[in-house]
Structure 1
Amino acid sequence: MINVDNLSYSFPKKDLYNNISFTLEDGQHCAFIGTNGSGKSTLIDILIDPEKYMFDGSLDKSPNCRIGYVRQFSEQEATKEITVFEYIGEEFIKLQNQMTSICSEMETSTDVDTLLEKYQQTLDAFDAINGDDFEKIINKKLNLTNLMKYKDTMISSLSGGEIKLIQVIKAMLNSPDLMIMDEPDVFLDFENLNSLKNLINSHKGTMLIITHNRYLLNHCFNKIIHLENMEIQEFDGSYIDYNFSLLQTKIELQELATVDNEEFDRNEKLINKLRILATDHSEPAKGRALNARVKVQERLEKSRIKAPFVEIKEPYINLSAYNVMDEATVLKVTDYSVAFDDTLLENVNFEIKSTDKVAIVGPNGTGKTTLLGEILKDNNDCIELNENVEISYLSQLQSKTLNNSNTILEEFFDVGFETREDILSHISCYGFEEERINQKIGTLSGGEKNLLQLAKISESKSNMLLLDEPTCHLDTYSQIALEKAIQNYKGAIIMISHDFYTIVNCMDYVLIIEDKTIRKVKMKIFKRMIYANHFGRDYLEIEQNKRIVETKIQLALKYNDFILAKELSEELEELIKLLQI
């Protein structure tokens, strides 16, 4: 369906792809992964409209390939004053109305042949999207996603997550040959995420989906396309199998690289000795020996193993806490309520201690972000903050904390950095190199903007963090780096998240929104709730054992114990098989 051959493309001052090639075949469900800012969304734009781009190489699509596209950001849908049914069935309804209009024209027109041809064309288009059964198909998809109750509801009254699912259903029902989605999971709550998984798995056509969501990656795809360091790697199989393949490759390459490095170091020492001898004694023979050894070293350097898909630089995120209070109550919420058209929360009561790490969990549209905003503003009588609390805030609406018209350099001068060198030193840990320092923030990817928010927070001298969907848009490597930073943070954290991997890996307990109020749930109980609803009975224990073995492998590789690493990888393979039963 899609064939890309030796494609290269560059932005000013940034190369994106270097002779990349891949194919996408009929019926494949393909996850498109890669680090933030690697060019995934741009490549999708090229696939959709290649005429807009000047690239080297070739891109071939099947003749008359119809592409359905669900964008990463599409806020304009939230303002549409039409029902869910009218929105999803827009194409069907338009074609129906066209056929009705043509039939009316036929009653009075003398050019019936032209109208008959027009009618046939419209009917063919109607049949191509299964027009005769369109209402039945819409009902089936709405039931699959538990959205049937909203069929006659206005789009403008839905939550962001519900609108995203409706957009996916609409794109699917227009029967594209290829369905492309750019991070459709962003901000979806647990139930809507599960509904998205069901939609993806029920779709019979070809799909290409950018996602960093570990739940979807583990349960939805039979092909992986990985874009990293300007190169692409294809893998036919599941994401779990792909990660295991990468780990095996890493063990093999690190073992080979260790031997290479030992030889490189030995040769380097010999070069240094020969250089001293050639300098001290001015002997032509020593000089010739030195030149020969330098050439050997150059060959060794060129032949060093390159591993663009296993040597992925994980950002270093450092969230330092200042003036942390010992066992003090830093936040007390008493009888808090909030309502807009309807009551969202009422009679909410909870306390946060100075070192608590707490996740707020609940369906889309239940007031989580509103509550976090009220804590930040600290002007509600129901919310009491300790006078020594200093707050830093990460917003899911990134323009609230970042100025899109600023360059990266300007943004950090505004924070209080005094020199360009200090800024470069700081943001390089987050993956931003010197050539990008004058890039406008508005041109960055969603994940890169979140990394910039985290880079600003790390310099904020706070002792409480309010994080609203911090993992959204972050690639999996950055998610893991953030988890480490959260675990190491000494102050209090209140985090809104639907990423239960991050929640169970980092948080002390959970505040769950149910029946318009909030109750505190221990992490052990929360894990059981999530895994009971989304996984098999033994999945949690197997996954925990998998994580333990992966940690042991990392430690073995740290000390170049390749025999142990290989033994552990065999143990890991057996656990992976159990997860896929």
Structure 2
Amino acid sequence: MIKVDNLSFSFPQKELFKNISFTLEEAQHCAFIGTNGNGKSTLIDILMDPDRYLFEGKLEIDPTCKIGHVSQFSQLDKTKETTVFEYIGEQFIKIQNEITSICMEMETSSDIESLLEKYQLALDAFDAIGGDDFESNMNKKLNLANLMKLKDLRVSDLSGGEFKLIQVMKEMLHRPDVMIMDEPDVFLDFDNLNALKNLINSHKGILLVVTHNRYLLNHCFNKVIHLEDMEIQEFDGRYLDYNFSLLQTKIELQEIAVAEKEESERNEKIINNLRVIATYNSEASRGRALKARVRFQERLEARRIKAPFVAIKQPDIRFGIENEIEDAVVVNVNNYSVTFDELLLDNVNFEIKSTDKVAIIGSNGTGKTTLLRDIFKNNKDSIEINADVKVAYLSQVQDEMLKDSNTIVEEFIDAGFATYDEVRSYLSNYGFEGEIVNQKIASLSGGEKNLLQLAKVSASNANVLLLDEPTSHLDTYTQIALEKAIVDYKGAIIMISHDFYTVVNGMDYVLIINDKTIRKMSMRKFRQMIYASHFDKDYLEAEQNKKSVEMKIELALKATDFERAKGLVDELEALIKLL
């Protein structure tokens, strides 16, 4: 359906792709992955509208191919009174009305021939979207996503997550040959994420989905396209199997690298000895031997294997803390309530101690963000903040904490850094190096903006962190780096997140929104609740065992014990087959 052949493209300030090639073919559900800022969304834009871009190489799209698209950022039109049924069925209703209008016109018009032609075109368009079964298919999609209750609601009354799912359904019901979605999972709660999984897995056509969500990656796709450092790698199989193949390659390359390093060091010693001898023995044979050894060393360096898909550098996220607070309550919420059009939260009571790491969990639109923002603003009588607390805040609305008109450097100068060199040195830990620091924040990807927010939070050295959807748009490598930073942090964290892995890997307990109030839940019970709702019976145990073996492999590689690492890989392969 779609073939990309040796495609290259760059912006004035950055080269994005260099001779990349891949294909999208029948029955492929493809995950499109890669670190933030590598150009995934740009590549999708090129696929959607190739005439807009000046690129090198070939892009072949079957002329009969119909492409559906769900964009990364979608805005709800609050002014329209359209119902969910009318929104999803917009094209269906339009064609249906057109057919009715043509039939009525036929009753009085003498120009039957042109009307018959219009009638046939309308019938063909109706058939192309499965018009006879359209409403039945729509009801099936709504039931699959457990959203049948929304059918007669106004679109303007939906939460952001519900609207995203409705967009996905609308595009799928148009029966595209290729469906392209750019991070459709961002901000979805657990139930809506599960609904998206069901919609993806039920779709019969080709799918290309940009996602960093580990739940979807592990459960939805039969092909992986990985964009990294201007190169593309294709893998036919599950994301779990792709990661396993990368781990095997990593072990192999590290073993080769250790052997090559030893050989290089031996050769360097020989070169140094030959140079010493050459200072007092000028025989031509000695000179030739020295030159031969130098050339051999150059060849050793040249053949070093470069593996952009294996050796991916994680950002070095570290949440510093200037003033640790010893075993005290840092945030006290007492009888807190919030109302918009309706009462969202009522009689909310909880306290956060100085080293608590807590996730606030609840469905979309239940008041979580408002609560976190109110804690940050500290202007409610129902919220009491310890006098020794310094708060840092990461907002899911990125331009709330970042100024789009600033360059990256200017943003951090405004945040209190003294010099440009200081900013550059600091941001290099987060992967912002070279000319990118002079780019406007408005030009960055969603993941790059969130990574900048994390860098600002870290630089604040605050002892209480308020993180609203910190993993949104972040690539999986940065998500893992964030989890490690959370575990190592010595202060308190209150985090809103729908990312199951970040919650269970970093939080001490959760605060669950239920029936307009909040109750505390242990991590053990939370795990059991999520696994009972969204995973197979034995998935939790298999995944925990997998993670344990992966950590053992990592330790074996650090110790360059390659035989042990290879033995553990066999054990890991057996576990992956259970997932």
* Structure 1 and Structure 2 fold alike (TM over 0.5): yes
Q: Pick which of 44-53 and 191-200 moved more.
A: 44-53
Partner of 1:110: 110
CA shift for structure 1 position 282: 5.8
CA shift for structure 1 position 38: 0.9
Any residues of structure 2 matched to 1:141-220 within 5 Å, and which? 141-220=141-220
- 1:358 is paired with a residue of what secondary structure? strand
Give the AA of the match of 1:14: K
CA shift for structure 1 position 272: 3.1
CA shift for structure 1 position 76: 3.8
Partner of 2:333: 333
Give the AA of the match of 1:45: D
In structure 1, what is the Cα distance between the partners aligned to 2:206 and 2:253? Answer: 34
Gaps of 5+ in 1: none
Any residues of structure 2 matched to 1:381-530 within 5 Å, and which? 381-530=381-530
CA shift for structure 1 position 335: 0.7
Give the AA of the match of 1:423: V
Q: Residues 99 and 123 of structure 2 are in contact (CA less than 8 Å); yes or no, is this contact kept in structure 1?
A: yes
Give the AA of the match of 1:553: I
Post-superposition CA distance 1:379-431 (Å, at most 9, x none): 10000110111000000000000011111111111111122211111111111
Partner of 2:257: 257
CA shift for structure 1 position 281: 5.8
Partner of 2:554: 554
Q: Pick which of 102-111 and 292-301 moved more.
A: 102-111
Q: Residues 9 and 54 of structure 1 are in contact (CA less than 8 Å); yes or no, is this contact kept in structure 2?
A: yes
CA shift for structure 1 position 18: 1.4
Question: Would the alpha carbon gap of residues 294 and 106 (structure 1) be closer, same or farther in structure 2, given more than 3 Å must change?
Answer: same
Partner of 1:30: 30
Q: Residues 407 and 440 of structure 2 are in contact (CA less than 8 Å); yes or no, is this contact kept in structure 1?
A: yes
- 2:64 is paired with a residue of what secondary structure? coil
Give the AA of the match of 2:487: Q
Partner of 1:19: 19
Partner of 2:539: 539
Any residues of structure 2 matched to 1:558-573 within 5 Å, and which? 558-573=558-573
CA shift for structure 1 position 276: 4.1
Partner of 2:269: 269
- 1:82 is paired with a residue of what secondary structure? coil
- 1:234 is paired with a residue of what secondary structure? strand
Post-superposition CA distance 1:292-330 (Å, at most 9, x none): 222212211111111111111111101112211111000
CA shift for structure 1 position 127: 0.5
1:91 aligns with 2:91: yes
Question: Would the alpha carbon gap of residues 79 and 541 (structure 1) be closer, same or farther in structure 2, given more than 3 Å must change?
Answer: farther
Give the AA of the match of 1:204: K
Q: Residues 319 and 457 of structure 1 are in contact (CA less than 8 Å); yes or no, is this contact kept in structure 2?
A: yes
CA shift for structure 1 position 136: 1.2
In structure 1, what is the Cα distance between the partners aligned to 2:207 and 2:5? Answer: 20
Q: Residues 319 and 461 of structure 2 are in contact (CA less than 8 Å); yes or no, is this contact kept in structure 1?
A: no
Post-superposition CA distance 1:70-104 (Å, at most 9, x none): 00001144553211010000110111122222223
Give the AA of the match of 1:415: A
In structure 1, what is the Cα distance between the partners aligned to 2:76 and 2:142? Answer: 21
CA shift for structure 1 position 563: 0.4
Q: Residues 405 and 441 of structure 2 are in contact (CA less than 8 Å); yes or no, is this contact kept in structure 1?
A: yes
Partner of 1:55: 55
Partner of 2:231: 231
Post-superposition CA distance 1:201-223 (Å, at most 9, x none): 11111100000000000100011
Give the AA of the match of 2:451: L
CA shift for structure 1 position 284: 5.1
Question: Would the alpha carbon gap of residues 13 and 286 (structure 1) be closer, same or farther in structure 2, given more than 3 Å must change?
Answer: farther
CA shift for structure 1 position 513: 0.2
Partner of 1:82: 82
In structure 2, what is the Cα distance between the partners aligned to 1:513 and 1:547? Answer: 29
Give the AA of the match of 1:530: I
Q: Pick which of 312-321 and 536-545 moved more.
A: 536-545
- 1:146 is paired with a residue of what secondary structure? coil
In structure 1, what is the Cα distance between the partners aligned to 2:499 and 2:280? Answer: 65
Any residues of structure 2 matched to 1:312-351 within 5 Å, and which? 312-351=312-351
- 1:306 is paired with a residue of what secondary structure? coil
Question: Would the alpha carbon gap of residues 517 and 123 (structure 1) be closer, same or farther in structure 2, given more than 3 Å must change?
Answer: same
CA shift for structure 1 position 536: 2.0
In structure 2, what is the Cα distance between the partners aligned to 1:279 and 1:344? Answer: 84
In structure 2, what is the Cα distance between the partners aligned to 1:321 and 1:286? Answer: 60
Question: Would the alpha carbon gap of residues 355 and 175 (structure 1) be closer, same or farther in structure 2, given more than 3 Å must change?
Answer: same
CA shift for structure 1 position 30: 0.6
In structure 1, what is the Cα distance between the partners aligned to 2:130 and 2:325? Answer: 64
Q: Pick which of 414-423 and 511-520 moved more.
A: 414-423
- 1:330 is paired with a residue of what secondary structure? strand
Q: Residues 76 and 156 of structure 2 are in contact (CA less than 8 Å); yes or no, is this contact kept in structure 1?
A: no
Among the aligned pairs, what percent are the same residue? 69
Question: Would the alpha carbon gap of residues 78 and 280 (structure 1) be closer, same or farther in structure 2, given more than 3 Å must change?
Answer: farther
Q: Residues 78 and 163 of structure 1 are in contact (CA less than 8 Å); yes or no, is this contact kept in structure 2?
A: no
In structure 2, what is the Cα distance between the partners aligned to 1:378 and 1:558? Answer: 46
CA shift for structure 1 position 280: 6.2
CA shift for structure 1 position 461: 2.3
- 1:578 is paired with a residue of what secondary structure? coil
CA shift for structure 1 position 275: 3.6
In structure 2, what is the Cα distance between the partners aligned to 1:286 and 1:413? Answer: 58
In structure 2, what is the Cα distance between the partners aligned to 1:577 and 1:70? Answer: 32
Give the AA of the match of 1:566: K
Q: Pick which of 294-303 and 466-475 moved more.
A: 294-303
In structure 2, what is the Cα distance between the partners aligned to 1:69 and 1:387? Answer: 50
Give the TM-score normalised by structure 2: 0.98
- 1:437 is paired with a residue of what secondary structure? helix
In structure 1, what is the Cα distance between the partners aligned to 2:232 and 2:163? Answer: 32
Partner of 1:380: 380
How large is the Cα RMSD of the aligned pairs?
1.3
Give the AA of the match of 1:215: Y
CA shift for structure 1 position 564: 0.2
In structure 2, what is the Cα distance between the partners aligned to 1:99 and 1:274? Answer: 90
- 2:578 is paired with a residue of what secondary structure? helix
Partner of 2:353: 353
Gaps of 5+ in 2: none
In structure 2, what is the Cα distance between the partners aligned to 1:454 and 1:278? Answer: 56
CA shift for structure 1 position 437: 1.2
In structure 2, what is the Cα distance between the partners aligned to 1:228 and 1:353? Answer: 41
Give the TM-score normalised by structure 1: 0.98
